[in-house]
Amino acid sequence: MKDWAMSAEPLQIEDTTFAITRMIEQAPKETLVREFFMNAQESAARAPEGQRKVRIYPTLIDGVRKLTFWNTGPGMDADDLKSAMNLSSSNNKKLALDGNFGIGAKVSGLAVNRAGIRYRSCKDETVHEVVIRHDGKTYVRDMVVDVTDTVREEDMHDTRHDWTEAVLMGEADDHDTVQWPVGRDKKVERSYVTAQIFRRFATFLPGVEVRVDVAMTRSGGKGETGKERPLKLLSGVILILPKAEKVTCPKTGVTVQYIHDPRYQSQTMSARKNPTTPSTTFCALVHKGERYDFKTKQSWSVAAPNFGIPFGSKVLTVEIILPDDHALPNQYRTGLTRPGDKSDLSTIDYAATVRELMPEWVREVIRQASPRSDETLEDIHADLQKLFDELKVPTTAFAPDKTSPDRIESADEGARDSEKADADSPDEEDDSDDSEKNSPDTDHKTRRAKEKRAKKAENGKRRAKEKRVRERPPDIDILDTDEQVKAKEIMGRAGVYYKKPHRLFVNGLYSAVYRMEAELHHDFAGQGDDSEALREIILKTARNFAALRVGKAVVYALSKRLVEDWTDEDVDKATTPESLSMAADDYRQSMNKARKRIKDELKKAAVG
């Protein structure tokens, strides 16, 4: 048998120039700030305590502003600097996915800065400089030169202490990389750099102080420069917010931090306390102090119902903090993957955990943010429940399992996402006396979730009590303002159904509602003493019947769980906003019942 080990040799790259060019030009531009900042703070963290500083400011080169990252920490001599410019250089870092390997800044930087990245480093009172750039054909490294005299003449930095500086030259000599940091074709807000750091980093390395020139903050005057402000992270202002709490899942070790960040006019409280950067509420994964799958503003508003937050995303932030061994970053650190199969991880993977661990005070914030309504929609829920019972639609815990074998959970463990039991169920534990949960002392602290908070459907229970395992109508919210409808991204759609939290949002401004209202108004014109009250009764009736039609469409779609030829994907397609809209459009089927409802309401009004 041939000795393969003796004849084996490492694989080589035939065309290194092509490989390097492709690596750089395929690199994501949005990681640029993260990479340069991370390099700066890692170096600064190696400086003595009290001297761990990172500064971000504009450097004028021939009258054009260039974005600059500067940090204390061990400097580099000529040989160190030359070696550090190699794409494979680790520069005293662990070259691995679970460490901050050393190719990111140079690769993502050159993708945006073909005119070059200028590095200067001071070591033992001597400053060396090197530039890496694109020369029109390929990416090159210029000769390392001694620029100590130049730096002393500029009188910008003290050469008695070690430091390192990186200046981003952009796409050309006239490219202002402070105003256009990720390319001249991409306009960004003035505080883009500070916002990127604020959003990406949950914590700084111990003792690191970050200061930013006002030219890159939201609070300085436009064009102002030369003054600096400290950059605080959310963790630095969280103590002044009304409420924040961490809850840890006892089985997985995943911690969820819930933060109440109320708004004043157009700003959150955290933004008002941190003038260097805009701050909005968000949802994100946190791994080793960095955030991934960051959702904010509209993307957070649309996703929030999956996490049990149908309303209130503008004042609630959710951070899902993963244990170190639960994830690995992908190649360019734009996302997280599972350590085993390297499949992508996202916030939605932990939506059930966020719902299960949610403290009562968060639920109260959601209730306060919910639209005020004097109706309970009990009639609609009763009709939908009757339909569920007639069709014998089971809850997801008892529905036929159509998932692939590798996704099936152990029957002994039960289904984690099953519906909560009835309020009068003898199997439901009463946690109304949970003093720990309701205690004000839990502000800004971490607690362990109690086992009883994670509800399971016990598959071993007998099914004699059929009603307990029947599917229930979704929670229904009728949205009646432009802001509410836009927040859920259902303009021109009748509604949207969120499967996991089992919640249905109905567009009360949908065109079919107003077509039905117009016909009903024609039928009842002149009836009643108060025309405005009549209009309100008719509009309310049109919206309620639209909600009933959309709700029935959801019920019929969920009933397809019982049909062998329907997959989970098929059921999901049947509950898309487009499918629900077609059900809502058939408003004439509801006209007779709507007329009767309006007559009854008018009689009540007359008696009253």
Per DSSP, 576 falls in state S
Which residues contact residue 308 at a Cβ distance below 8 angstroms, ignoring those fewer than 6 apart?
Answer: 351, 354, 355, 358, 366, 501
* Spatial contact of 183 and 192, defined as CB atoms under 8 Å apart: no
- Cα–Cα distance, 84 to 42 (Å, whole number): 15
Residue that has been written with the tokens 């006209």 in this structure = 591
Please say if the pLDDT value at position 457 is more than 50. no
| CA distances, 593 to each of 110, 508, 599 (Å) | 67, 19, 10
Per DSSP, 265 falls in state T
Read off the pLDDT of residues 7-60 as tens digits, 9 standing for 90 and up: 677 777 767 777 777 777 777 888 899 999 999 999 999 999 999 999 999 999
Helix axes 32-44, 104-112, angle to 10 degrees: 140
Closest CA to 44 of 236, 205, 228: 205
Read off the pLDDT of residues 313-336 as tens digits, 9 standing for 90 and up: 999 999 999 999 999 998 888 999
pLDDT at 299: 95
Which residues contact residue 47 at a Cβ distance below 8 angstroms, ignoring those fewer than 6 apart?
Answer: 53, 72, 73, 74, 162
- Cα–Cα distance, 581 to 511 (Å, whole number): 10
Q: What angle do CA 176, 180, 184 make, to 5 degrees?
A: 90
* Spatial contact of 254 and 322, defined as CB atoms under 8 Å apart: yes
Buried-state track 439-477, b at ≥16 Cβ within 10 A, e below 16: eeebeeeebebeeebbbebeeeeeeeeeebbbbebbebb
CATH code linked to domain 236-369: 3.30.230
* Spatial contact of 121 and 349, defined as CB atoms under 8 Å apart: no
- Cα–Cα distance, 365 to 381 (Å, whole number): 24
Question: 64 pLDDT band (50/70/90 cuts)?
Answer: very high
Q: Please count the CA atoms within 13 angstroms of the CA of 413 that sit on its side-chain side.
A: 8
- Cα–Cα distance, 168 to 302 (Å, whole number): 36
Which residues contact residue 365 at a Cβ distance below 8 angstroms, ignoring those fewer than 6 apart?
Answer: 243, 260, 312, 315, 316
Closest CA to 304 of 479, 491, 450, 505: 505
Closest CA to 69 of 99, 35, 95: 35
Residue that has been written with the tokens 């943010």 in this structure = 369
Structure tokens at 194: 């500070």
Question: 193 pLDDT band (50/70/90 cuts)?
Answer: very high
* Spatial contact of 456 and 414, defined as CB atoms under 8 Å apart: yes
For the domain made up of 16-231, the CATH class stated in words is alpha beta
* Spatial contact of 56 and 212, defined as CB atoms under 8 Å apart: yes
| CA distances, 112 to each of 160, 165, 257, 322 (Å) | 33, 18, 35, 32
Question: 450 pLDDT band (50/70/90 cuts)?
Answer: low
Which residues contact residue 70 at a Cβ distance below 8 angstroms, ignoring those fewer than 6 apart?
Answer: 40, 54, 55, 56, 57, 157, 163, 164, 165, 166
pLDDT at 601: 86
Read off the pLDDT of residues 351-367 as tens digits, 9 standing for 90 and up: 999 999 999 999 999 99
Closest CA to 459 of 514, 399, 539, 403: 399
Q: What is the pTM of this model?
A: 0.81
Closest CA to 505 of 566, 546, 472, 456: 546
Q: What is the mean pLDDT of residues 227-231?
A: 91
Structure tokens at 589: 């089927």
- Cα–Cα distance, 71 to 255 (Å, whole number): 32
pLDDT at 253: 97
pLDDT at 532: 85
Q: What is the mean pLDDT of residues 188-206?
A: 94
Structure tokens at 319: 């951070």
* Domain locations in the chain as residue ranges: 16-231, 236-369, 378-393+470-607
Structure tokens at 23: 């690596």
The alpha carbon of 479 is separated from its chain's Cα centroid by a whole number of angstroms, namely 24
Read off the pLDDT of residues 358-406 as tens digits, 9 standing for 90 and up: 999 999 999 999 987 666 789 999 999 999 999 998 887 555 655 433 3
- Cα–Cα distance, 54 to 51 (Å, whole number): 10
Residue that has been written with the tokens 């019920």 in this structure = 555
Least confident of 89-98, 409-418, 509-518, 574-583: 409-418
Q: Is 200 exposed, middle or buried (0-12, 13-18, 19+ CB in 10 A)?
A: buried
3-state helix, strand, coil in the chain (%, to 5): 40, 20, 45
- Cα–Cα distance, 565 to 575 (Å, whole number): 17
Name, of 235-244, 427-436, 446-455, the range with top average pLDDT: 235-244
Element (H, E) at 504: strand 503-507
Structure tokens at 32: 């640029």
